[in-house]
Amino acid sequence: MLKRLPILCAALLALAACNHDNGSGAAQPAAPAATTSAAATPAASSPVPAAAATATAPAASASTAPAASGTTAAAPAPAAPATPFVDTGKWVEGKNYFLIDPAQPTSHPGKIEVTEVFSYGCPACNAFHETVDQIAKSLPANAVMNYLPASFRPDENWPLYQRAFLTAQALGVVDKTHDAMYDAVWKSGELSTYSLKGSGLKPKEAWPTIDDVAKFYAKYGVDPKEFVGIANSFTVNTQMKRADDLMKAYGVDSTPSMVVNGKYRFTTNSAGGYAQSIELTQWLVAKEAAGK
């Protein structure tokens, strides 16, 4: 019987992404170095395929959004000027971006929602999150940033990271801890499920627990007992299920993925790279604003 090897997005390989493993037993790329950053990753980093659920994480400040639409976060910088919609034929539906059918409801009437589907445990998301910050800052006043955390890799402890994000959101600290969580997983390793020395997954008994996560959030003024209590609450369990359901409705099968207004989705691969992901997001927002 083949031994199932852990899946990781090789952030130093072109078009790397975190994909859903259906249990085929195929070997997966090794974990990237702990110091991997968006700048060090090739521009066309590939998303990681998803299997079941997603979680939201804000790149700046986050507010609790209705369960049906995931977590939202407002861009930290002043809104960028709106871009007029011009279709030059550069972006092709079915190639660069994909229609979500049926379109999913959003949580901010009058606003165009831009959603990142991600996981703290996904190395491709770690490499891409600085670009997501740039996307958030590039949005015009009629758009809002949204984050949906994924849990489709339970074999890599992703449900824990999803639970952590939603708990931090409930406690109102996610805007201060989002980038730090990536660092705790991929730089210091204190919340990593992988050995950052490149030897694959740690033994399960060495995986971070919700108590370990609570100790991390204590650095940001959160009482560890309160954190654990909320993390294990019915409310957070329900939010996790709704996040999973929404990701399925989006048709997302890899992380990081971007969704615009519940109608369009794309990955860094389909867009052609990091810079192109920013450009395509702006174009789709303009398309929505123009009602095209």
Burial class (CB in 10 A: 0-12, 13-18, 19+), 287: buried
Residue-wise pLDDT tens digits, 142-156: 999 989 999 999 999
Amino acid at residue number 15: L
Cis, bond preceding 47 (omega within 30 deg of 0):
no
Answer yes or no: are the C-beta atoms of 36 and 123 closer than 8 Å. yes
Does the pTM surpass 0.85? The reply is: no
**pLDDT, position 16:** 56
> pLDDT, tens digit, for every residue of 223-268?
999 999 999 999 999 999 999 999 999 999 999 999 999 999 999 9
Domains present along the chain, CATH in parentheses: 40-75+98-188+232-289 (3.40.30.10)
Which residue stretches of the chain have pLDDT < 50?
Answer: 1-15, 22-46, 50-70, 72-76
Residue 166 pLDDT: 97
Give the separation between CA 181 and CA 277, rounded to whole angstroms.
23
CA pair distance 95, 288, nearest whole angstrom: 18
Reading the block at residue 266, the tokens are 């794309």
CB 166 within 8 A of CB 55: yes
- Quote the CA–CA distance of 228 and 23 in Å, as a whole number: 31
**Per-residue b or e along 177-203, where b marks 16 or more CB atoms closer than 10 Å to that residue's CB:** bbbbbbebbbbebebbbbebeeeebbe
Amino acid at 227: F
Q: Give me the amino acid identity at 123.
A: P
Instruction: Give the Cα separation of 252 and 50 in Å (integer).
Output: 6
Residue 63 CA to residue 75 CA, distance in Å, equals 11
Listed residue (16, 250, 44) closest to 122, CA to CA: 16
Cβ atoms within 10 Å of 87's Cβ, excluding its own: 11
